[in-house]
Amino acid sequence: MEAVTRLVKIRTSKTTLAIGDGANDVGMLQEADIGVGISGAEGMQAVMASDFAIAQFRFLERLLLVHGHWCYRRIAAMICYFFFKNITFGFTLFWFEAHAMFSAQPAYNDWFISFYSVAFTSLPVIALGVFDKDVSSRVCLEVPSLHQDGVNNVFFSWSRILSWMLNGMCCSIIIYFGSLNAILVQAVRQDGRVAGFDILGVTMYSCVVWTVNCQLALYISYFTWIQHFVIWGSILIWYTFLVIYGLFSPAISATAYHVFVEACAPSPLYWLSTLMIVVTALIPFFVYKISRTLYYPQYHDQVQRANSKNW
């Protein structure tokens, strides 16, 4: 049977799935791209050689139609979003270099940069990759043709990947040039003080954190308390970190010493420019999403819409 599997794989270049429950199926399970082993009457050998193990043959339907659909969508979205958030962040550093003689001076304090992927934007991505659902499991079972989204590579096509990257680039341009023009060169507060390198860094970084997290909130279709907690929580963690880090002695915090509580928070210009920049950066994606789902819906959009009860 493994010879047959290999023949099908090579001749048709398609992804193959094999399901079996006995020791004689082990070869076939290993040869196929996806091996599903059934644990039970014939022992555990098939399970040990498989990628997925289920308890009864009829669970295969659920595995493919429900979990297959959800996981494909989640992983594709997670990877595209990951590129987006890092491009948004990284490119603001590049645009700054154009104004710093390309001397490799980072626009932000070192610890801001180190904690970006760890503390401020990591949990929402995990929530996206683990919990997001576009339709319920009942709908997945009722509409088996949703499975074709995976076969046709709808969610991870090159156009999707590149458009997320383009979105990241546009967001970074809006954030960088918006912060620059709003905050420099004039005074930023009523006491006549101007913004230096540190205030610009904090403003840009806050805009980046807000933008990438709100972008995720615009994208996901399933909001439990977990999603709310991680998205708004990440933004709160950023401000908390800024305050706490600013309390450390200047030997450690360098340019971030007291910068938020003393310089940024009392300045209405800081808060107003954050609001303006974040909303402006999110508008292109929002308009695209509206046009797509309302006027050019794809198949999965239609299914999702047909299955939500209230209009």
Partner 1 sequence: MDSHAAGSSSGGSGDGAAQPRRNSRKPKYSKFTQQELPACKPILTPKWVISVFVLVGVIFVPIGIVSLRASQQVVEIVDRYDDACVPAGVTDKLAYIRNDSIPKACTRNLTITKDMKQPIFVYYQLDNFYQNHRRYVKSRNDGQLRDKSKASKTDNCDPEAKTVDGKPIVPCGLIAWSLFNDTYNLIRNNETLSVDKKGISWKSDRDHKFGSDVLPMNFQKGPLQGGKILDSKIPLSEQEDLIVWMRTAALPTFRKLYGRIYVDLKENDTITVQLENNYNTYSFSGKKKLVLSTATWIGGKNDFLGLAYLTVGGICFFLAFAFTLLYLIKPRKMGDNSYLSWNRATLGR
Judged by CB under 8 A, the chain residues 62 through 91 that form the site for partner 1 are 62, 66
Residue 41 as a binder of partner 1 (CB under 8 A): the answer is no
Tokens of 188: 């930023």
Residue 256 as a binder of partner 1 (CB under 8 A): the answer is no
Distant-in-sequence contacts of 143-150, Cβ < 8 A, 24+ apart: 143/303, 144/65, 145/299, 146/65, 146/69, 146/299, 146/300, 146/303, 147/64, 147/65, 147/68, 147/69, 148/299, 149/69, 149/72, 149/73, 149/299, 149/300, 150/68, 150/69, 150/72
Q: Which of 60, 243, 265, 279 binds partner 1 (CB under 8 A)?
A: 279
Tokens of 30: 């290993």
Per-residue mark of binding to partner 1, 91-110 (x: CB under 8 A): --------xxx-xxx-----
Q: How far apart are CA 211 and CA 180, in angstroms?
A: 16
Q: Minimum distance between the CB of residue 38 and partner 1, rounded to whole angstroms? A: 13
Of residues 85 and 300, the one with the C-beta less far from partner 1? 300
Q: Minimum distance between the CB of residue 207 and partner 1, rounded to whole angstroms? A: 13
Q: Which of 6, 9, 147, 258 binds partner 1 (CB under 8 A)?
A: 258
Residue 213 as a binder of partner 1 (CB under 8 A): the answer is no
Q: Minimum distance between the CB of residue 34 and partner 1, rounded to whole angstroms? A: 20
Residue 14 as a binder of partner 1 (CB under 8 A): the answer is no
SS3 category, 224: coil
Q: Look at residues 74, 71, 36 and name the one whose alpha carbon lies nearest to residue 56.
A: 36
Of residues 44 and 306, the one with the C-beta less far from partner 1? 306
Stretch that binds partner 1, among 7-15, 43-51, 206-214, 287-295 (CB under 8 A): 287-295
